[in-house]
Protein backbone atom coordinates (compact mmCIF):
# COMPACT_ATOMS: atom_id res chain seq x y z
CA UNK A 1 0.00 0.00 0.00
CA UNK A 2 1.10 3.54 -0.60
CA UNK A 3 1.74 5.74 2.44
CA UNK A 4 1.77 9.51 2.02
CA UNK A 5 3.00 11.59 4.94
CA UNK A 6 1.68 15.15 4.88
CA UNK A 7 2.52 18.03 7.23
CA UNK A 8 -0.98 18.40 8.66
CA UNK A 9 -4.66 17.56 8.32
CA UNK A 10 -5.33 20.45 5.93
CA UNK A 11 -2.66 19.21 3.50
CA UNK A 12 -4.13 15.71 3.70
CA UNK A 13 -7.57 17.09 2.94
CA UNK A 14 -6.27 19.04 -0.02
CA UNK A 15 -4.42 16.03 -1.45
CA UNK A 16 -7.40 13.70 -1.22
CA UNK A 17 -9.84 16.35 -2.52
CA UNK A 18 -7.59 16.74 -5.56
CA UNK A 19 -7.64 12.96 -6.07
CA UNK A 20 -11.45 13.06 -5.94
CA UNK A 21 -11.51 16.01 -8.34
CA UNK A 22 -9.23 14.16 -10.76
CA UNK A 23 -11.53 11.15 -10.57
CA UNK A 24 -14.59 13.33 -11.29
CA UNK A 25 -12.83 14.89 -14.29
CA UNK A 26 -12.22 11.38 -15.65
CA UNK A 27 -15.58 10.00 -14.60
CA UNK A 28 -18.14 12.73 -13.85
CA UNK A 29 -20.67 10.33 -12.29
CA UNK A 30 -18.13 8.57 -10.08
CA UNK A 31 -19.48 6.98 -6.92
CA UNK A 32 -17.61 8.46 -3.95
CA UNK A 33 -17.74 6.49 -0.72
CA UNK A 34 -17.55 8.91 2.17
CA UNK A 35 -16.78 8.51 5.84
CA UNK A 36 -18.04 10.41 8.86
CA UNK A 37 -16.15 11.52 11.97
CA UNK A 38 -13.85 14.50 12.41
CA UNK A 39 -10.95 13.34 10.23
CA UNK A 40 -12.49 13.63 6.74
CA UNK A 41 -13.86 17.16 7.21
CA UNK A 42 -10.83 18.88 5.62
CA UNK A 43 -11.36 16.68 2.53
CA UNK A 44 -14.98 17.77 2.12
CA UNK A 45 -14.12 21.41 2.73
CA UNK A 46 -11.33 21.31 0.13
CA UNK A 47 -13.52 19.54 -2.43
CA UNK A 48 -16.37 22.02 -1.95
CA UNK A 49 -13.87 24.87 -2.42
CA UNK A 50 -12.74 23.34 -5.70
CA UNK A 51 -16.34 23.06 -6.86
CA UNK A 52 -17.09 26.68 -5.95
CA UNK A 53 -13.90 27.81 -7.71
CA UNK A 54 -14.98 25.98 -10.87
CA UNK A 55 -11.93 23.66 -10.76
CA UNK A 56 -14.16 20.61 -10.99
CA UNK A 57 -17.75 19.93 -11.94
CA UNK A 58 -19.21 17.62 -9.30
CA UNK A 59 -22.82 18.01 -10.42
CA UNK A 60 -23.08 14.37 -11.54
CA UNK A 61 -21.14 12.89 -8.62
CA UNK A 62 -22.80 10.21 -6.56
CA UNK A 63 -22.15 9.72 -2.87
CA UNK A 64 -22.58 6.69 -0.65
CA UNK A 65 -22.34 6.12 3.03
CA UNK A 66 -20.05 3.71 4.87
CA UNK A 67 -22.06 3.05 7.98
CA UNK A 68 -25.02 4.16 10.06
CA UNK A 69 -26.24 4.05 13.63
CA UNK A 70 -29.16 1.77 14.37
CA UNK A 71 -32.15 3.13 16.19
CA UNK A 72 -31.69 6.89 16.01
CA UNK A 73 -34.97 8.62 15.13
CA UNK A 74 -35.26 9.63 11.45
CA UNK A 75 -33.58 12.97 10.84
CA UNK A 76 -31.51 12.85 14.06
CA UNK A 77 -28.67 15.33 13.43
CA UNK A 78 -26.02 12.76 14.41
CA UNK A 79 -27.38 10.02 12.17
CA UNK A 80 -24.79 9.47 9.50
CA UNK A 81 -27.36 10.13 6.81
CA UNK A 82 -27.98 13.61 8.22
CA UNK A 83 -24.23 14.09 8.74
CA UNK A 84 -23.29 13.19 5.17
CA UNK A 85 -26.10 15.33 3.77
CA UNK A 86 -24.87 18.28 5.85
CA UNK A 87 -21.11 17.81 5.38
CA UNK A 88 -20.86 16.49 1.83
CA UNK A 89 -24.03 16.47 -0.26
CA UNK A 90 -25.21 20.02 0.47
CA UNK A 91 -21.80 21.75 0.26
CA UNK A 92 -21.20 20.05 -3.10
CA UNK A 93 -24.63 21.23 -4.27
CA UNK A 94 -25.78 17.69 -5.08
CA UNK A 95 -29.40 16.58 -5.13
CA UNK A 96 -30.41 14.26 -2.30
CA UNK A 97 -31.14 11.60 -4.93
CA UNK A 98 -27.41 11.36 -5.66
CA UNK A 99 -26.87 9.93 -2.21
CA UNK A 100 -27.33 6.40 -0.93
CA UNK A 101 -26.92 4.84 2.49
CA UNK A 102 -28.16 1.97 4.63
CA UNK A 103 -31.40 2.47 6.54
CA UNK A 104 -30.63 2.23 10.27
CA UNK A 105 -34.29 2.52 11.17
CA UNK A 106 -35.53 -0.27 8.90
CA UNK A 107 -37.84 -2.79 10.49
CA UNK A 108 -35.96 -5.63 8.83
CA UNK A 109 -32.33 -4.65 9.41
CA UNK A 110 -30.70 -7.77 7.88
CA UNK A 111 -32.73 -7.17 4.69
CA UNK A 112 -31.66 -3.51 4.72
CA UNK A 113 -28.02 -4.62 4.97
CA UNK A 114 -28.32 -7.06 2.09
CA UNK A 115 -30.22 -4.49 0.08
CA UNK A 116 -27.46 -1.95 0.57
CA UNK A 117 -24.75 -4.29 -0.67
CA UNK A 118 -26.94 -5.04 -3.69
CA UNK A 119 -27.58 -1.35 -4.33
CA UNK A 120 -23.84 -0.59 -4.27
CA UNK A 121 -23.18 -3.35 -6.79
CA UNK A 122 -26.06 -2.22 -9.02
CA UNK A 123 -24.68 1.32 -8.92
CA UNK A 124 -21.51 -0.05 -10.50
CA UNK A 125 -19.45 -0.22 -7.31
CA UNK A 126 -17.63 2.43 -5.36
CA UNK A 127 -14.90 4.24 -7.30
CA UNK A 128 -13.09 5.82 -4.38
CA UNK A 129 -13.82 4.98 -0.76
CA UNK A 130 -12.56 7.42 1.83
CA UNK A 131 -11.91 5.86 5.22
CA UNK A 132 -11.07 7.05 8.69
CA UNK A 133 -9.62 4.72 11.28
CA UNK A 134 -10.70 4.12 14.86
CA UNK A 135 -8.20 4.16 17.70
CA UNK A 136 -8.96 0.43 17.89
CA UNK A 137 -8.12 -0.04 14.20
CA UNK A 138 -11.68 -0.22 12.91
CA UNK A 139 -12.68 0.88 9.41
CA UNK A 140 -16.30 1.75 8.93
CA UNK A 141 -17.68 0.23 12.10
CA UNK A 142 -15.89 -3.06 11.57
CA UNK A 143 -14.65 -3.52 15.09
CA UNK A 144 -11.72 -5.83 15.98
CA UNK A 145 -12.33 -9.46 15.04
CA UNK A 146 -14.69 -8.58 12.21
CA UNK A 147 -14.48 -11.12 9.42
CA UNK A 148 -12.13 -9.91 6.74
CA UNK A 149 -14.68 -11.19 4.21
CA UNK A 150 -17.69 -9.58 5.88
CA UNK A 151 -20.47 -7.89 3.95
CA UNK A 152 -22.75 -5.10 5.12
CA UNK A 153 -24.31 -6.17 8.40
CA UNK A 154 -25.25 -5.18 11.94
CA UNK A 155 -22.39 -4.75 14.38
CA UNK A 156 -22.15 -3.99 18.09
CA UNK A 157 -19.84 -1.10 18.94
CA UNK A 158 -16.99 -1.57 21.37
CA UNK A 159 -17.04 0.54 24.50
CA UNK A 160 -13.93 2.35 23.17
CA UNK A 161 -15.76 3.43 20.00
CA UNK A 162 -18.80 4.59 21.98
CA UNK A 163 -16.53 6.62 24.27
CA UNK A 164 -14.69 8.06 21.23
CA UNK A 165 -18.01 9.08 19.64
CA UNK A 166 -19.71 10.46 22.75
CA UNK A 167 -18.40 13.91 21.79
CA UNK A 168 -20.97 13.97 18.97
CA UNK A 169 -23.74 13.36 21.53
CA UNK A 170 -22.99 16.22 23.96
CA UNK A 171 -20.44 14.00 25.69
CA UNK A 172 -23.26 11.76 26.93
CA UNK A 173 -22.22 8.13 26.49
CA UNK A 174 -25.77 6.97 27.21
CA UNK A 175 -26.96 8.57 23.98
CA UNK A 176 -24.46 6.74 21.76
CA UNK A 177 -26.19 3.79 20.10
CA UNK A 178 -24.81 0.31 20.76
CA UNK A 179 -25.60 -1.01 17.29
CA UNK A 180 -24.76 0.06 13.78
CA UNK A 181 -25.00 -1.04 10.19
CA UNK A 182 -21.63 -1.01 8.48
CA UNK A 183 -20.29 -1.96 5.11
CA UNK A 184 -18.34 -5.15 5.74
CA UNK A 185 -14.62 -5.38 5.20
CA UNK A 186 -15.28 -7.45 2.09
CA UNK A 187 -17.69 -4.75 0.88
CA UNK A 188 -15.10 -2.03 1.49
CA UNK A 189 -12.44 -4.04 -0.35
CA UNK A 190 -14.71 -4.10 -3.43
CA UNK A 191 -14.13 -0.36 -3.96
CA UNK A 192 -11.70 0.43 -6.77
CA UNK A 193 -9.52 2.75 -4.70
CA UNK A 194 -9.31 2.94 -0.92
CA UNK A 195 -8.00 6.13 0.66
CA UNK A 196 -7.53 6.11 4.42
CA UNK A 197 -6.87 9.41 6.17
CA UNK A 198 -5.55 9.48 9.74
CA UNK A 199 -4.45 12.53 11.68
CA UNK A 200 -3.23 13.10 15.21
CA UNK A 201 -1.11 11.12 17.60
CA UNK A 202 -4.10 9.18 18.89
CA UNK A 203 -4.13 7.26 15.60
CA UNK A 204 -0.37 6.56 15.42
CA UNK A 205 -0.51 3.07 16.92
CA UNK A 206 -3.48 1.98 14.78
CA UNK A 207 -1.75 3.35 11.67
CA UNK A 208 1.53 1.53 12.42
CA UNK A 209 -0.33 -1.74 12.94
CA UNK A 210 -2.39 -1.22 9.78
CA UNK A 211 0.59 -0.49 7.56
CA UNK A 212 3.42 -2.48 9.10
CA UNK A 213 1.75 -5.04 11.33
CA UNK A 214 0.49 -8.45 10.30
CA UNK A 215 -2.84 -8.88 8.57
CA UNK A 216 -4.97 -9.37 11.63
CA UNK A 217 -8.61 -9.54 12.63
CA UNK A 218 -7.58 -7.54 15.71
CA UNK A 219 -6.76 -4.61 13.43
CA UNK A 220 -9.52 -4.53 10.80
CA UNK A 221 -7.79 -1.75 8.83
CA UNK A 222 -4.89 -4.14 8.14
CA UNK A 223 -7.23 -5.66 5.53
CA UNK A 224 -6.13 -2.76 3.31
CA UNK A 225 -2.99 -4.83 2.76
CA UNK A 226 -5.18 -7.11 0.63
CA UNK A 227 -6.27 -4.32 -1.71
CA UNK A 228 -4.53 -3.59 -5.00
CA UNK A 229 -4.95 0.17 -4.73
CA UNK A 230 -4.90 1.42 -1.16
CA UNK A 231 -3.48 4.79 -0.16
CA UNK A 232 -2.89 5.78 3.44
CA UNK A 233 -2.57 9.53 4.01
CA UNK A 234 -1.23 10.47 7.45
CA UNK A 235 -0.03 13.63 9.10
CA UNK A 236 3.30 13.69 10.93
CA UNK A 237 1.65 12.88 14.28
CA UNK A 238 -0.24 9.87 12.96
CA UNK A 239 2.96 8.73 11.18
CA UNK A 240 5.04 8.98 14.34
CA UNK A 241 5.08 5.22 15.04
CA UNK A 242 5.88 4.08 11.49
CA UNK A 243 9.27 2.36 11.35
CA UNK A 244 9.46 2.94 7.60
CA UNK A 245 8.46 6.62 7.67
CA UNK A 246 11.68 7.75 5.95
CA UNK A 247 11.24 5.16 3.23
CA UNK A 248 7.66 6.29 2.64
CA UNK A 249 8.80 9.93 2.42
CA UNK A 250 11.53 9.02 -0.06
CA UNK A 251 9.18 6.89 -2.16
CA UNK A 252 6.57 9.62 -2.38
CA UNK A 253 9.09 12.38 -3.11
CA UNK A 254 10.41 10.32 -6.03
CA UNK A 255 7.07 9.16 -7.33
CA UNK A 256 6.63 9.11 -11.09
CA UNK A 257 4.59 12.11 -12.13
CA UNK A 258 2.06 10.00 -14.07
CA UNK A 259 0.83 8.34 -10.91
CA UNK A 260 -2.11 10.05 -9.24
CA UNK A 261 -2.42 11.23 -5.62
Q: Which residues are catalytic?
A: 67, 136, 138, 143
Pairing outcome for strands 62-65 and 31-34: parallel
When binding is defined by CB under 6 A, the residue of 8, 38, 108, 215 that contacts ligand PGA is 38
Q: Shortest approach of ligand PGA to residue 29 CB, angstroms?
A: 27
| Alpha-carbon gap, residue 182 to 220, rounded angstroms | 13
Q: Judged by CB under 6 A, which stretch of 33-41, 94-102, 116-124, 173-181 contacts ligand PGA?
A: 33-41
Q: Cite the DSSP H helix spans in the chain.
A: 9-26, 41-52, 80-84, 109-122, 159-165, 185-189, 204-212, 245-253
Q: Cite the DSSP H helix spans in 123-203.
A: 159-165, 185-189
User: Are the C-beta atoms of residues 217 and 145 closer than 8 Å to each other?
Assistant: yes
- Between 12 and 56, whose beta carbon lies closer to ligand PGA? 12
Residues 136-195, interacting with ligand PGA (CB under 6 A): none
132 lies in the binding site for ligand PGA (CB under 6 A): yes
Q: Judged by CB under 6 A, which stretch of 85-93, 107-115, 126-134, 211-219 contacts ligand PGA?
A: 126-134
| Alpha-carbon gap, residue 158 to 12, rounded angstroms | 28
Residues 202-261, interacting with ligand PGA (CB under 6 A): none
| Alpha-carbon gap, residue 55 to 38, rounded angstroms | 25
Q: Shortest approach of ligand PGA to residue 90 CB, angstroms?
A: 20
User: Are the C-beta atoms of residues 219 and 144 closer than 8 Å to each other?
Assistant: yes
| Alpha-carbon gap, residue 171 to 13, rounded angstroms | 26
- Between 28 and 37, whose beta carbon lies closer to ligand PGA? 37
Q: Shortest approach of ligand PGA to residue 175 CB, angstroms?
A: 16
134 lies in the binding site for ligand PGA (CB under 6 A): yes
- Between 24 and 234, whose beta carbon lies closer to ligand PGA? 234
Q: Judged by CB under 6 A, which stretch of 80-88, 111-119, 128-136, 238-246 contacts ligand PGA?
A: 128-136
Q: Which residues pair with 33 in a beta bridge?
A: 64, 129
Find the residue with minimal CB distance to ligand PGA: 37
DSSP 31-59: EEEE--SSTTHHHHHHHHHHHHTTS---T
- Between 133 and 234, whose beta carbon lies closer to ligand PGA? 133
Task: Catalog residues that contact ligand PGA under the rule CB under 6 A.
Answer: 37-39, 132-134
Amino acid sequence: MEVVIVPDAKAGGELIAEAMAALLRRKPDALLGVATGSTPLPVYEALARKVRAGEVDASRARVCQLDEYVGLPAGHPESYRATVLREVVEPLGLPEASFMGPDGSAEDLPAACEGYDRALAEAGGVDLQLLGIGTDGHIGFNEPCSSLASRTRIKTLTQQTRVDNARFFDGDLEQVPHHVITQGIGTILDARHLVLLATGEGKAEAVAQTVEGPLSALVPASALQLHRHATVVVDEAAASKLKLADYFRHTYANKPSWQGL
